[in-house]
C-alpha cells in the first residue's frame, strides 16, 4: 500500500483520513492546528511538523484545504510539499480551487518529477464521513489509475474527466448546476406559496417529471419547514461560485444565471446567513419580495 501524506484535517479531511487509516494505509498527517493532527495520531497516523516533512517519506500526498492561496502556500510555499516530496510521488489536491492555478502548480511540480492530480469532491461532510463522495479527477490517466484504490476508499462515483485542472472545472460545473437549480426551486416554492398553493403538494406534483432535480426533492422540503442547517454552507458555496465566475471571466464566457445566484447569496451573507445551508437562498428571495414563507 502506498505511503500517504495527508494535509488538511478540517470537516472534510478528517473523516477522509480516518477512512484511509482504517483501510490500512500508512498515513503521515499535517495540520496547521496541531490538536487535529493529534486526534488522528490516536488512530495510528504519524504526525509531521510541516507539509514538506509530511511529504518526505510519502508516495502519495493528499491536500484538502479551503481556497486557492492556502493550497498554493501548502504546496509551493516555504516548507511546502514541493520541498519534501520525492520524484515519482503524486500530489492529489482534493480541495476546490482555481483550475488555472491547478495547472500552473502541476507544471511546477512536474519540473521536479512530481505528478499531480486535481481531485475535488462533491457530497459534503456527510459524504466524507460515509465514504460516498463523488470525485472528479484531472491529470494523467495512468497516474489516476495508480491512485484509484485510494479514491475508492474515499468515494463512490469516481470519474477521470481529463487533463490537469479539469477535475476542478467539472467541480465548478457541478456548483453552477446546483446553484442555479437551487434558484429554480426557491422561485417555484415562493410562487406556489404566494398563489395560495401548498408548496409541499407542488413538490409532490412536479418532482417526478421534467422538473425533477435533487435540489427540488432534497432542499425544497427543508425550505418549507425552515430547516436552514448546513448540508453545504453558503460561505463555502460563495467561494466556489467566485472561482467559477473567475474561470468564466478567464474563458470570456458570460454566465448570467450564475452571476445572479452569486449576488443573491451575497444578500444572505450580508444578513449574517453565510453559515447556513444553501437552501437559505430562499430567504434572499423573500427579502426581495418583502415577505417570508412562515
Where along the sequence are the contacts to a second copy (CB under 8 A)? 99, 122-123, 134, 136, 157, 159, 161-163, 165-166, 169-170, 172-174, 176-181, 183-185, 187-192, 194-198, 201-202, 204-206, 208-216, 218, 232, 244, 247-248, 251-258, 260-261, 264, 285, 288-289
Report the residue number, 72 or 172, with the smaller CB distance to a second copy.
172
Count other Cβ atoms within 10 Å, centred on residue 241. Answer: 24
Instruction: Count how many Cα atoms sit within 13 Å of the Cα of residue 232 in the half-sphere of its side chain.
Output: 21
Grid coordinates given for 257? 444565471
By the 8 A CB rule, do 58 and 3 touch? yes
Q: Which residues contact 27 (CB under 8 A, 6 or more apart)?
A: 3, 4, 5, 6, 17, 20, 21, 40, 44, 45, 46
To the nearest whole angstrom, how small is the minimum distance from the Cβ of residue 204 to a second copy? 6
Q: Give the three-state DSSP class for 217.
A: helix
Report the residue number, 39 or 293, with the smaller CB distance to a second copy.
293
Q: Which residue in 107, 111, 53 sits closest to 85, CA to CA?
A: 53
Report the residue number, 31 or 168, with the smaller CB distance to a second copy.
168
CA separation for the pair 71, 92 (Å, rounded) = 11
Q: Which residues contact 266 (CB under 8 A, 6 or more apart)?
A: 238
Say whether 193 is catalytic: no
To the nearest whole angstrom, how small is the minimum distance from the Cβ of residue 91 to a second copy? 21
Q: What is the dihedral of CA 86, 90, 95, 96, to 10 degrees?
A: 120
To the nearest whole angstrom, how small is the minimum distance from the Cβ of residue 140 to a second copy? 15
To the nearest whole angstrom, how small is the minimum distance from the Cβ of residue 286 to a second copy? 10
Report the residue number, 196 or 272, with the smaller CB distance to a second copy.
196
To the nearest whole angstrom, how small is the minimum distance from the Cβ of residue 275 to a second copy? 19
Report the residue number, 85 or 258, with the smaller CB distance to a second copy.
258
CA separation for the pair 181, 84 (Å, rounded) = 43
CA separation for the pair 191, 21 (Å, rounded) = 49
To the nearest whole angstrom, how small is the minimum distance from the Cβ of residue 139 to a second copy? 13
CB burial string 42-67: b at 16+ within 10 A, e below: eeebbbbebbbbbbbbbbbbbbbbbb
Catalytic pick among 36, 46, 171, 193: 171
Report the residue number, 23 or 173, with the smaller CB distance to a second copy.
173
What are the residue numbers of the active site? 171
Amino acid at each position: 500500500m502506498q505511503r500517504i501524506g495527508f494535509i488538511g484535517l478540517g470537516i472534510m479531511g478528517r473523516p477522509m483520513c480516518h477512512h484511509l487509516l482504517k483501510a490500512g494505509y500508512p498515513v503521515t498527517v499535517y495540520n496547521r492546528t496541531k490538536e487535529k493532527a493529534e486526534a488522528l495520531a490516536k488512530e495510528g497516523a504519524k504526525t509531521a511538523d510541516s507539509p514538506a516533512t509530511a511529504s518526505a517519506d510519502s508516495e502519495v500526498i493528499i491536500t484538502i484545504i479551503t481556497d486557492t492561496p492556502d493550497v498554493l502556500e501548502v504546496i509551493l510555499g516555504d516548507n511546502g510539499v514541493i520541498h519534501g516530496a520525492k520524484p515519482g510521488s503524486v500530489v492529489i489536491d482534493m480541495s476546490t480551487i482555481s483550475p488555472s492555478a491547478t495547472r500552473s502548480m502541476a507544471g511546477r511540480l512536474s519540473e521536479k518529477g512530481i505528478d499531480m492530480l486535481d481531485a475535488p469532491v462533491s457530497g459534503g461532510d456527510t459524504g466524507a464521513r460515509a465514504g460516498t463522495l463523488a470525485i472528479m479527477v484531472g491529470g494523467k490517466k495512468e497516474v489516476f489509475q495508480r491512485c484509484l484504490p485510494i479514491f475508492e476508499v474515499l468515494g463512490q462515483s469516481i470519474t477521470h474527466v481529463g487533463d490537469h485542472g479539469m477535475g476542478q472545472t467539472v467541480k465548478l460545473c457541478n456548483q453552477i448546476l446546483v446553484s442555479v437549480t437551487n434558484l429554480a426551486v426557491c422561485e417555484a416554492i415562493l410562487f406556489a406559496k404566494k398563489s395560495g398553493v401548498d408548496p409541499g403538494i407542488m413538490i409532490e406534483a412536479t418532482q417526478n417529471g421534467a422538473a425533477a432535480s435533487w435540489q427540488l426533492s432534497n432542499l425544497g422540503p427543508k425550505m418549507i419547514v425552515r430547516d436552514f442547517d448546513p448540508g453545504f454552507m453558503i460561505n463555502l458555496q460563495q467561494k466556489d461560485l467566485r472561482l467559477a465566475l473567475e474561470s468564466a471571466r478567464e474563458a470570456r464566457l458570460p454566465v448570467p444565471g450564475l452571476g445572479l445566484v452569486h449576488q443573491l447569496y451575497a444578500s444572505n451573507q450580508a444578513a449574517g446567513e453565510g453559515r447556513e445551508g444553501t437552501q437559505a437562498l430562499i430567504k434572499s428571495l423573500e427579502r426581495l419580495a418583502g415577505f417570508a414563507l412562515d
